[in-house]
Structure 1
Amino acid sequence: MCDLVDRDYINHDFFKLSESEIVQEVLARNKDPVIEQMLQVLLSKQQEKIKKEVADYIDAEKRGRSLVISGIDEPSASLPLKNRQADLEEKICNILDALDVDCAPTEVYRLGKRDERRPQLVKKKYDGRGAQVRG
Structure 2
Amino acid sequence: MTSSVAVRSLPVQKKAKAERSEEMSVGEEGSVNQLLSLAGNGKVPIYMKLVIELLLETRNEMKIANQRNAELIEEIHLLREENSALKQRNASLESTKSDVKKVFANASPSPGNDEQELSRSIVLSHVPESTDHTAAERLAHDFACVNQLLDFLDVECRPTAVYRMGKITQNYPRLIKVVLPASKFQKQAIKRAPRLRFFSPQRGIYLRASLTWEERQRRREERLKRREPAINESVRVFQTGGLSKSPPPSPSLNTSIAFTQDSSLQGNC
TM-score by length of 1: 0.52
d(CA) in 2 for partners of 1:62, 1:130: 12
Between the aligned residues of both structures, percent identity stands at 31
Give the superposition deviation at 1:68.
0.8
d(CA) in 2 for partners of 1:129, 1:70: 20
d(CA) in 2 for partners of 1:85, 1:91: 10
Contact 1:96 / 1:102 at 8 angstroms: preserved in 2? yes
Listed one character per residue, the Cα deviations across residues 10-69 of structure 1 (whole Å, up to 9, x for unaligned) are xxxxxxxxxxxxxxxxxxxxxxxxxxxxxxxxxxxxxxxxxxxxx554432220111111
Residue 64 of structure 1: aligned partner: 119
Residue 114 of structure 1: aligned partner: 168
Q: Does 1:99 align with 2:153?
A: yes
Q: Does 1:123 align with 2:177?
A: yes
d(CA) in 2 for partners of 1:105, 1:80: 22
d(CA) in 2 for partners of 1:87, 1:59: 27
Residue 133 of structure 2: aligned partner: 79
Higher RCO structure, 1 or 2 (CA under 8 Å, sep 6+): 1
How many residue pairs end up in the alignment?
80
One-letter amino acid matched to 1:71: H
More strand by share: 1
Which shows bigger deviation, 100-109 or 56-65? 56-65
Secondary structure at 1:87's aligned position in 2?
helix
Structure 1 unmatched runs, 5+: 1-54
Give the superposition deviation at 1:121.
0.3
d(CA) in 2 for partners of 1:81, 1:57: 31
Give the superposition deviation at 1:130.
7.3
Q: What is the RMSD of the two structures over their aligned residues, measured on CA atoms?
A: 2.5
More helix by share: 2
Structure 2 unmatched runs, 5+: 1-109, 189-269
In structure 2, relative to structure 1, the CA distance for the partners of 1:68 and 1:106 (3 Å cut) is same
In structure 2, relative to structure 1, the CA distance for the partners of 1:130 and 1:65 (3 Å cut) is closer
Give 1 or 2 for the bigger CA radius of gyration: 2
One-letter amino acid matched to 1:101: V
d(CA) in 2 for partners of 1:59, 1:114: 25
d(CA) in 2 for partners of 1:56, 1:123: 19
